[in-house]
Amino acid sequence: MTQNENLKALSEAGVSVWLDDLSRDLIHGGELQRLVDEKSVVGVTTNPSIFAAAISGSDSYDDQLHAMAVRGVTVEEALRTITAADVRDACDLLTPVFERTGRDGRVSLEVAPGLAHHTDATAAEAAHLWWLVDRPNLYIKIPATVEGLPAITETIANGISVNVTLIFSLERYKAVMEAYVAGLEKRAEDPEASFEGIESVASFFVSRVDTEIDKRLDAAGADASLKGKAGIANAQLAYQAYEEVFSSDRWAALEARGASKQRALWASTGVKNPEYSDTMYLSELAAPDTVNTMPGKTMDAFADHGQVGRPVTETYADAEKVLQSVRDAGVDLDDVFAVLESEGVQKFNDAWDELSTSVAEQLQDKK
């Protein structure tokens, strides 16, 4: 089958195209394979909201739910059995991509969001999920909270690939890269330890930054021309930080032993404001060795009319000016990022609670 030319151009610019969605119907109905064949999709990300929508919106889970209801399993066990099964099947579907690239062909599964502020529990669940899915092309998603950082280090040291999620600020992103490098260094203390197969991405959120900052710019009566620019500028400067960290002598020592760079992943790339270009978080963030995970609607928009924009490496000075102008307008960026992290954890908690309630009700109905 022929690849879509616009998405192919994005891939050729160095961007791995990942789908931010997953369901049993998507896997077994052939749609995910079609996206791989026709739209350059080489990875999948999930979160509690995605699974809540998948399970509540399909009868494809009925037989499995009935079997678990008869067995009297707990809601927690049912949740993990269902989500692990879907992620495992998606990993299997993407295995040819994984074997071809080594870095892509991966699927992400998130630790329970209620553990976001508990280091040891996060690391323990990461190990459990890695064992449960049992596929080398799995990513365990761990939130980039302060408590999540040492869990990232521990998980990487244990040889488990990690997708670090909910990153909003440059400061936290740098701490995430430090956690990854520290995890590899800890693993390297064992001269027999290998870095083979260990990968990581750092999911830097984009559109949510604009939503929060635009709201504050409006409240401050700031120049409207500043709106819709901070999210991209923030991400562009994140890529600058990525280049600095992974060109250092410290990194070179790990790379010489076979370590892979932690790629920047652009998340939250669906445009929230209909006045903005529906492809801007893809077009303006094309850079070598990055990932862009996108909802199906955004992917379709880029396939239809998206174009690769200016290279990110040429944007750093302008990006600095944008963020400084936002600060000068009275927006406290530190507070913005703190609010977004707190809201992000809460949204995933709410989705997890919704998912738990839905599964509990279905288990009861199917007894």
Q: What is the CATH number of the domain that holds 181?
A: 3.20.20.70
- Total number of domains constituting the chain: 1
Residue 130 structure tokens: 């890695």
- Tens-place pLDDT, residues 321-345: 999 999 999 999 999 999 999 999 9
How many beta carbons lie within 10 A of that of residue 238, not counting itself? 28
- Tens-place pLDDT, residues 83-134: 999 999 999 999 999 999 989 999 999 999 899 999 999 999 999 999 999 9
Strand 41-44 versus strand 138-143 pairing type: unpaired
Region 273-291 average pLDDT: 97
How many beta carbons lie within 10 A of that of residue 211, not counting itself? 15
Which CA distances in Å does 309 have to 83, 171, 264?
A: 36, 26, 18
Region 135-155 average pLDDT: 98
CA distance 105 to 222: 44
- Tens-place pLDDT, residues 12-39: 999 999 999 999 999 999 999 999 999 9
109 φ/ψ angles, rounded to the nearest 5 degrees: -130, 130
Which CA distances in Å does 195 have to 109, 145, 199, 258?
A: 21, 25, 9, 6
- Determine what percent of the chain is predicted with pLDDT higher than 90: 86
Residue among 141, 227, 229, 261 flagged as catalytic = 141
Task: Give the model's pLDDT for residue 96.
Answer: 98
- Tens-place pLDDT, residues 179-238: 999 999 999 999 888 999 999 999 999 999 999 999 999 999 999 999 999 999 999 999
> Does 174 qualify as catalytic in the annotation?
no
Is the confidence at residue 1, as pLDDT, over 70? no
CA distance 347 to 47: 10
CA distance 261 to 298: 27
Domain span holding position 143: 5-365
